[in-house]
Amino acid sequence: MGATDPEDTSNASRREILDDHAHVRGLLGGLEEHLDRPVEPEAEWRSELQVTLSDLHRRLQRHFKSEEKGGVHERLMQEAPRLAHRLDELFADHPAILERLTGLLASLSEEGGASPLDVRALTDGTRQLIEQLSEHEASENEVMLDAYWDDLGGEGG
């Protein structure tokens, strides 16, 4: 077997990122549905929220690491250097997103009963996370489209 073709690696990285984005969008949709449901029984509601947020946390940690280390984003930095600042800004969002998610998970794992205010705070915090992630993805998509159409001649294959 010969060496791995860099274009094949780039395409695989791109597919992985797109798959991750689709999975994250699915989790965010599930979170929105969960937040719209009645909170009774509260323990079950909190447990389901914790499971989904934990899955999202694991997925985002892996995804952010993948984005930051090589693959499609490294190629963009090399071939579309004018976008480097925007990519750096996107990468700077990653710790803040994970920090907000970690805080929500910590709130869910605390012992003791939760008052309605606690549930409201969890709901508000989760909605803010959803909004933050949606804005982050929209910005990321905009950078990717700018790069592929303007700098790489529309080569998305």
5-21, pLDDT tens digit by residue? 445 445 666 677 778 88
pLDDT in tens, 35-85: 999 998 988 999 999 999 999 999 999 888 888 776 667 777 777 788 888
H or E element in which residue 88 lies: helix 84-109
d(CA 128, CA 134): 10
pTM above 0.85, yes or no: no
Average pLDDT in the 135-146 region?
Answer: 87
Q: Answer for the pair 84, 77: CB distance below 8 angstroms, yes or no.
A: yes
Structure tokens given for 134: 């949606």
Task: Please report, in angstroms and rounded to a whole number, the separation of the first and last CA atoms in the chain.
Answer: 24
**What residue ranges do the domains of the chain occupy?**
1-35+42-63+85-107+115-143
